[in-house]
Amino acid sequence: MKKLLLLFCLSLFLACENSAEKQLQSKSKPVDSTENFGIVIHGGAGTILKKNMSDSLEKEYKAKLEEAIKTGHKILADGGNALDAVQKTINVMENSPLFNAGKGAVFTNAETNELDASIMDGKTLNAGAVAGVTTVKNPINLAWEVMENSEHVMMAGKGAEKFAEERGIELVTPEYFYTENRFKSLQRLKKRESKKTELDHNANETAFTDPFIKDSKFGTVGCAALDKNGNLAAGTSTGGMTNKKWGRIGDAPIIGAGTYANNKTAAVSATGWGEFFIRGVVAYDISALMEYKNMSLQEAAREVIQKKNPELGGNGGIIAIDHAGNISMEFNTAGMYRAHMDKEGNLKIGIYEKD
């Protein structure tokens, strides 16, 4: 009888141990999150009207947006991380003269090209940014280096270029960024400006409330991605505002304004009139509304882009993806170059408001 009781107790113990081990294995086994990965991009927001776009140019934009987003999507589909997908996707757009970033950067008043970029890791909240660089072929790559291989978040100008040289980042001569259409845009803007009455002591305020200058910035590029491990990342790259002066820097390299990523909420990249995106801390504000008010990504994006930012006087848009893979492409302008892909590879590309 004692033997039977002993055997019963032993079998019960083994069964419980086996069950506990299975539960532990179940908890430690990676969750299959492949259904959550996705990527979304923008190529700038502004007065983008179909009546002003030739069929051939529209095809060029759509082809480049498709090339860019498929580059990042493949990285994610193959199990790569969100940061790598963001960086490589933005590289495609930086290397194209179609966008106001890298090769297609707009000109300053001094007829130079000054580039800004930033990138952020939603897992660690680590971030890197560069501003006012003139010889870095792909500013987003330098922003990544600042994040990963320095104790800083932002570097600017010659110092940033020195760091780029030390890190082996590809440098080019300033002439690399010259494009005829961007240069002509600057000349048109300067000619218009020269016809105006000389500005008074409130020159800065007057210049930035000029509607023509307000629409002189679009083409900034950005990407937000969610990888199979549930990590988010966002990045933004730009040439800034046509005819900018005095070393002006917009929202693109400002963490929380033009770029933000947090695994708790979403990854966001912004484009538009940077002064107002900085004042509204737009990218972070969307995340904060999600975290503290329990808004969905779409609700938060709509609140910021359709209400809060316009109330300040700003215009533009954002692209974002949340920790569950939901997408937002919210803008308050006539158009925004944009695209997104889900884990099945479904692709959507848009340019105009009703796309």
**What tens digit of pLDDT does each residue of 94-140 get?**
999 999 999 999 999 999 999 999 999 999 999 999 999 999 999 99
Cα(19)–Cα(28) distance, integer angstroms: 14
Nearest to residue 107, comparing CAs of 167, 38, 188, 46? 188
Task: Catalogue the active-site residues.
Answer: 220
Statement: residue 35 has pLDDT above 80: no
Q: Average per-residue pLDDT in the chain?
A: 88
Structure confidence at residue 196 (pLDDT): 63
pLDDT band of 23, cuts 50, 70, 90: very low
- DSSP symbol at 196: S
Q: Is residue 59 part of a domain?
A: yes
Cα(241)–Cα(260) distance, integer angstroms: 21
Question: φ and ψ at 314, to 5 degrees?
Answer: -95, 160
Q: Is residue 27 part of a domain?
A: no
304 near 317, Cβ under 8 Å?
A: no
**What tens digit of pLDDT does each residue of 307-351 get?**
999 999 999 999 999 999 999 999 999 999 999 999 999 999 999
Q: Is residue 266 part of a domain?
A: yes
Global pTM reads: 0.85
Q: Is residue 7 part of a domain?
A: no
261 near 268, Cβ under 8 Å?
A: yes
Cα(225)–Cα(121) distance, integer angstroms: 10
**Could you give the number of structural domains in the chain?**
1
**What tens digit of pLDDT does each residue of 180-224 get?**
999 999 999 998 888 764 444 344 433 333 333 444 556 799 999
Q: Is residue 187 part of a domain?
A: yes
* Domain at 326, CATH number: 3.60.20.30
Q: Is residue 11 part of a domain?
A: no
Measured on CA atoms in the order 118, 296, 67, 84, is the torsion positive or negative? positive
Domain with 327 in it:
39-352
- Highest mean pLDDT: which range of 29-38, 73-82, 188-197, 346-355: 73-82
Q: Is residue 63 part of a domain?
A: yes
Instruction: Please state, in angstroms and as integers, the Cα–Cα distance from residue 142 to each residue in 79, 94, 98, 134, 155, following that order.
Output: 24, 13, 21, 12, 9
Three-state SS string over 43-86 comes to: EEEECCCHHHCCHHHHHHHHHHHHHHHHHHHHHHHCCCCHHHHH
What would the mean pLDDT of 141-148 be, rounded to a whole number?
Answer: 98
Structure confidence at residue 194 (pLDDT): 81
What would the mean pLDDT of 244-261 be, rounded to a whole number?
Answer: 97
Tell me the helices (H) and strands (E) count for the chain, helix number first.
12, 12
Q: Is residue 33 part of a domain?
A: no
